[in-house]
Each structure stands twice: as C-alpha cells, then as structure tokens.
Structure 1
Amino acid sequence: MYVCICNAVTEDDVHGCMASGCRTAKEVKAACGFKPACGTCTKRIHTMVSEYRTASELADALTGGPADLAAVPDRGPEPIIAETAETLEGGAASQTAA
C-alpha cells in the first residue's frame, strides 16, 4: 500500500528504510527521497516508525538486547554419509544394539 502517493513510496519502502537503520520520520523521508513541501503522509510515517521502534524495543527486551552479528565461517559442503540397507531397514545394526 502507498504511504505517499506524491513520491510513490510504499509501506515496503518505509519498512526497508527502517530495517536499514532509519529511526525517525525525518530519516525515513530523506532515505526514501521525499521532495520538499510534501507532508500529507508525515503522520502515517510517524505512526509506522513508532510501531517499528516499539516492536524492536520489545524484541530486545525479550531477548536480552540486540544480537551481535558475526560472520558464519564457511565450512564447505557437508560430507555425505552412506548408510547400508540393513541399518535403514532395522536389520543387523539395530539388532546388535538391543
């Protein structure tokens, strides 16, 4: 849905700006490239920013704060483990364990 028809800015555009770090309506408007003198949508943007910040703060409170981001090491492809038909069918392997 459009938040600002004048600038063709959608809710997805606003959410993307907030996910990228915008924390105020002014920052969102700058990141979305709003033209000067457009302001009929400012109330809606303020509401969206407030909802986003509240949800973010709630998530941080429930999880103990924002998670530190770290790169996941590249371990390469996982090895393929071949299983015998007896193991899959519950044959000799499962009988010896019992």
Structure 2
Amino acid sequence: MVVCVCNAIRESDVRQCARGGCTTPCQAFRSLGCQPKCGQCASYTRAIIADERAAA
C-alpha cells in the first residue's frame, strides 16, 4: 500500500526504515532520500513506525 503519494513511499518501505532504527517520519523520509511534502501521510507513517517498534 502506498503511504506517501507525493514521494511514492510504500508501507513496506516505512516498516523497513523503522526496523533500521528510524523513530520519526522525518527520519524515515531522510533514510529513503525524500523530504515530506504535503504532510498528509505523517500520522499514518508515525503509526506504522510505532507498530514496528512495539513488535521489536
């Protein structure tokens, strides 16, 4: 599923970033070589990261 339409970032990309140590959406974007644009995906990205951190 696409999380960020502006940057074409998928949920699996965000989960991989979280597993790699990213704790915020901004860190995930940076690790993917992108920048947040409109911000609509921030809350969902934050939830995905929290989910991965809870599972670890």
Q: TM-score, normalised by structure 2?
A: 0.79
Q: 1:38 corresponds to which letter in structure 2?
A: C
Q: How many residues align?
A: 56
Q: Does 1:22 align with 2:38?
A: no
Q: What is the distance in 2 between the residues matched to 1:32 and 1:10? A: 11
Name segments (4+ residues, structure 1) moved above 3 Å.
Answer: none
Task: Report which structure shows greater RCO (CA 8 Å, sep ≥6).
Answer: 2
Report percent identity of matched pairs: 36
Structure 1, unaligned stretches of length 5 or more?
A: 57-98
**CA apart distance, 1:36:** 4.6
1:21-40 matches, within 5 Å, as: 21-40=21-40
TM-score w.r.t. the length of structure 1 is 0.50
Conserved in 1, the CA contact under 8 Å of 2:23 and 2:49? Answer: yes
